[in-house]
Homo-oligomer: A and B are copies of this chain.
Amino acid sequence: MPILERSNPLPLYYQLKEVLKQQIHSGHLAPHTAIPSEPELVAQYHVSRATVRQALTELVHEGLLYRQHGRGTFVCEPRVQQRVASELKSFSEELRRRGLKPGGMLLVSELVRGSQHVREQLRLNDEEQVVRLERIRTADGEAIAYEVNYLPYPRAMNVYQRAKEAADGSLYQLMASEGMVPYMAEHVFKGDKANEREIDLLKIPADECGMRVECTTFDETGAPISFTEAFYPSSRYEFQLTLRVASK
């Protein structure tokens, strides 16, 4: 039982979270078994109950633990743990989770006016332009998606200049390093056939179905910071999504 470091700049509740996470992932705390009770954790780690509860509450939100009033706090099923419940990870992260190596190729990076739809999604003025990035995304070297990203221009100026870095990495990571941190993402999914450019670039049969996804992201203040159109041929990629069901 590790001891929490009061000299550590990281908060005590955060250190406790990390200790418990580590014990869960290493198998010291098996699924469906009770973890030590709150008073026990208070005694073991020499912190107050409020600190213990903050750690536990966050782990419950992250899908690692569940509580039962009067019974105890238990470790969730591995399937529930697998993906931090109900949060969106970047595509690159998701591929790594599945044991695939994310990659990509930057086809185009340009400054354009953009379609009506794009301009509306990004809430642009008449004068503002958009950065347009066209990418092929790969998993273990195989092309699995065609993706076009649009970013509002004056704000994404630095992202535009560093666009090549986003080719095989995460655009969100590049955006974040320039102060454009996604806070929320709106998606629209529909089944569709590939268009000619997609058939050509992804080298798929002409009549193949796939998933067409539009995604608009917003920062903490609600300002739109990116709009993405993508096509995933069904033979190459399936979407998986694990969500907490709304309570009550």
A interface residues with partner B (beta carbon < 8 Å): 31-32, 50, 61, 63, 66, 68, 74, 76-77, 79-80, 84-89, 172, 182-193, 207, 209-212, 217-218, 220-222, 232-234, 238-247
Contact = CB atoms under 8 A, between A and B. Distances in A.
Nearest to A211: B191
A245 B232 CA distance: 21
Given A66-B220, A186-B240, A222-B77, A245 B87 contact: yes
Of residues A189, A191, A222, which shows the largest number of chain B Cβ atoms within 10 Å of its Cβ?
Answer: A191
A190 B209 CA distance: 9
A246 B191 CA distance: 26
Contacts of A86: 86-88, 243-244
A191 B235 CA distance: 9
Given A209-B192, A222-B32, A243 B84 contact: no
Copies in the complex: 2
A215 to B, nearest CB: 9
Of residues A184, A185, A221, which shows the largest number of chain B Cβ atoms within 10 Å of its Cβ?
Answer: A184
Given A32-B222, A77-B218, A222-B80, A87 B244 contact: yes
Given A79-B218, A89-B246, A190 B239 contact: yes
A187 B88 contact: no
A188 B240 contact: yes
A200 to B, nearest CB: 18
B211 A246 contact: no
20 contacts: A79-B184, A79-B222, A80-B183, A80-B218, A86-B86, A86-B87, A86-B243, A87-B243, A87-B246, A87-B247, A88-B244, A182-B245, A183-B244, A184-B244, A187-B242, A187-B243, A188-B238, A191-B191, A192-B234, A211-B211
